[in-house]
Amino acid sequence: MDVLLTTVAFVLGIALPWGVVRFDMARLTGQQLDRAWPDSSLWSAIVAFGPLCIPFHFAKTRRSLLGVLLGLVVMVGVFLVAVVVSVLLEGLYEAIWG
C-alpha cells in the first residue's frame, strides 16, 4: 500500500501543477504569456518543485502582489486535493482489504 500511495502522490505532484499552469496559461494575455516559462523550463520547474512552482508562475506572469497571493492560494488548493485523494485512496484500500 505504501508503494501505491507514494506513486499516487508523485503523479499528483506533477500532474496537478502541470494542469493548473496550463489552464492558467490558456487564459493569459499576450504580454503575460510572453513572461511565462517556455515548455522546457516549465517541465523542469514542475518535476523539480511540484506545487511549489505555482506561486512563481503566477508571480512571473502577473508581476504583482495579487499574482503572488493567487499563486499561494492555488498552491494550497493543489496540496489539499493531493492530500484528499491520498486519504480517500487509503480509506478505500482499508475498506476493501482491511
Task: Tell me the pTM.
Answer: 0.88
Number of domains in the chain: 1
Residue 77, domain extent: 2-97
Which three cell numbers, joined as nine digits, stand for 56? Answer: 512563481
| pLDDT digit string, tens, across residues 21-74 | 999 999 999 999 999 999 889 999 999 999 999 999 999 999 999 999 999 999
Average pLDDT over residues 78-97: 92
* Whole-number pLDDT of residue 22: 95
Q: Render the burial of 62-95: b for 16+ CB within 10 Å, e for the rest.
A: beeeebbebbeebbeebbeebeebbeeeeeeeee
Amino acid at the residue 38:
P
* Whole-number pLDDT of residue 97: 86
